[in-house]
Amino acid sequence: MGWRSVSHVATMACSLFVIITGVAHGQQQFGPRVADARRSQEPQSPQGAPAWFPLHPALQKHTDDVLTFWEHHSGKIQRYRSDFQRWEYDKANFDPVQAQTYATGKVMYAQPDKGLFEVTALQQGMRKEDGSIGYEVQKATEFEKWICDGTTVFEFDHRNKQLIERGLPPEMQGKQIVEGPLPFLFGAKKAQIEARYWIRINPDKRDVFWLEAVPKHREDAANFRKIDIVIPDNKEFLPKAIILHHRGGTQTTFEFTNQETNWNDALEKLVIWNRAFFNPATPSGWKRVKEPLSQQQTAQPQGQLPPFRQAQQGFQQPAPR
C-alpha cells in the first residue's frame, strides 16, 4: 500500500465534492466573455509558466472577477450530492481516443470537511484480437469507496474485504485541508490560489466558464500538470465537469448530473444523511483495519498519486458500448 499516503488520499478523495461546492449558489454577471482576448506580448513568461501567461488585462480582470465570486460564495453550500460519470484515458499505453475505464457513482459533501466518493458501476476497456476495443463489466471487488469525516479517511477495500481507517494528521484536519495539493478546490482564498497556480478563464471556450489552473510549484506539479473546471453559465453555477491532466499524458474526466444543494430534508432524513459520514459500519464478513499514522507518512514516494488511477479527456464523450 505504498502509494496511499494519507494526505494525498484525503485530498484527492475529498477534492471532487468540495470543488463543486466552491463555486456554487448564486450567479453574477462578469461582463464580456473576452473571447478574443489573448495574453500580453510585453513581459517574458517565468520559467514553467503556461504559454498563455501573462494574461491580457481584460482577460485578467475577467478571471479575477470569477475567482472573487467563487471565494465569496464558497461557504454558502452546507450540503451537496450528485451522480457522476468518470472516463479514464491513457493515450500512450492504451488508446489515443477510447477510454480505458468508464465508471458511474455518486459524491456527497457536508461543510466544511466531510465527504463521500463511491463508484457503483465500472467497465474496463479491453483490446480485442481485431484491434477494436470492447468493455467488460467489472465485479464489485474493483469498485472504489471513500468517506472523509474531517479527522479520518475510510477506504472500503472491496477486493480484500477490509474497511481501512487512516487518521488525518492535525494539519490536514478541518478547514486546514485547503492547504493540500488542490487548495482552490477547498474554499481557499483567491490570494492562495494565485500564489500557487497560474490560472485563467479559457477565452476559446464559449457559453461556459472554463477555468484552467497550472501549478507553479514542484510539490503541486507532482500531483497533476493542469486541471480544468467547466462551469455552465446558468443560475446554479455548479461545475459540470472536472478534467485532471496527470503526468505521463493520462487524464481523468468527471461529469456531474442530478446535482442538489442545501435541500430541505425532514429532521429524520437529515440525521440519516449525517450518519453517512460518521464511523461507517464494517460490512458483514469484512475486517476493520486501523492504519498507524507513522505507517501512512512513510508509505508513499513523493508525488505518487492514489486511487483515482490514470485517466482521460473529453467530458462529452458518451459511455462505451
Is residue 224 within 8 A of residue 244, CB to CB? The reply is: yes
Q: How would you write the chain as a 3-class SS string?
A: CCCCCHHHHHHHHHHHHHHHHCCCCCCCCCCCCCCCCCCCCCCCCCCCCCCCCCCCHHHHHHHHHHHHHHHHHCCCCCEEEEEEEEEEEECCCCCCCCCCEEEEEEEEEECCCEEEEEEEEEEEEEECCCCCEEEEECCHHHCCEEEECCCEEEEEECCCCEEEEEECCHHHCHHHHHHCCCHHHCCCCHHHHHHHEEEEECCCCCCEEEEEEEECCHHHHCCCCEEEEEEECCCCCCCCEEEEECHHHEEEEEEEEEEEECCCCCHHHHHHHHHCCCCCCCCCCCEEEEECHHHHHHHCCCCCCCCCCCCCCCCCCCCCC
Q: What is the pLDDT along the chain (321 residues), one digit of tens a residue?
A: 443 444 444 445 455 544 554 544 434 444 333 333 333 333 445 668 999 999 999 999 999 998 888 777 666 777 888 999 999 999 999 999 999 999 999 998 887 778 889 999 999 999 999 999 999 999 999 999 999 888 888 999 999 999 999 988 887 776 655 555 444 444 567 888 898 899 999 999 988 999 999 999 887 788 789 999 898 877 777 889 999 999 888 999 999 999 888 877 665 566 666 777 777 899 999 999 998 765 555 444 444 333 333 333 333 344 444
Whether residue 292 is contained in a domain is answered as: yes
The pair phi, psi for residue 73, each rounded to 5°, is: -100, 0
Confidence at residue 40, expressed as pLDDT on a 0 to 100 scale: 36
69 within some domain = yes
Tell me if 314 is assigned to some domain: no
Q: Is residue 256 part of a domain?
A: yes
Range of the domain at 88: 6-31+55-299
Domain total for the chain? 1
Residue 45 lies in a domain: no
Give whole-number Cα distances, 210 to 223, 231, 243, 279, in Å: 21, 6, 11, 37
**Among 134, 99, 139, CA closest to 119:** 139
Residue 43: inside a domain, yes or no? no
Residue 158: inside a domain, yes or no?
Answer: yes
Residue 36 lies in a domain: no
What pTM did the predictor assign? 0.78
The domain that holds 205 is classified in CATH as 2.50.20.10
The residues, ordered by sequence, that sit 6+ positions from 100 with a Cβ below 8 Å of its Cβ are: 88, 89, 90, 94, 124, 125, 310, 312
Q: Nearest 5 degrees, angle CA 256-CA 196-CA 305?
A: 55
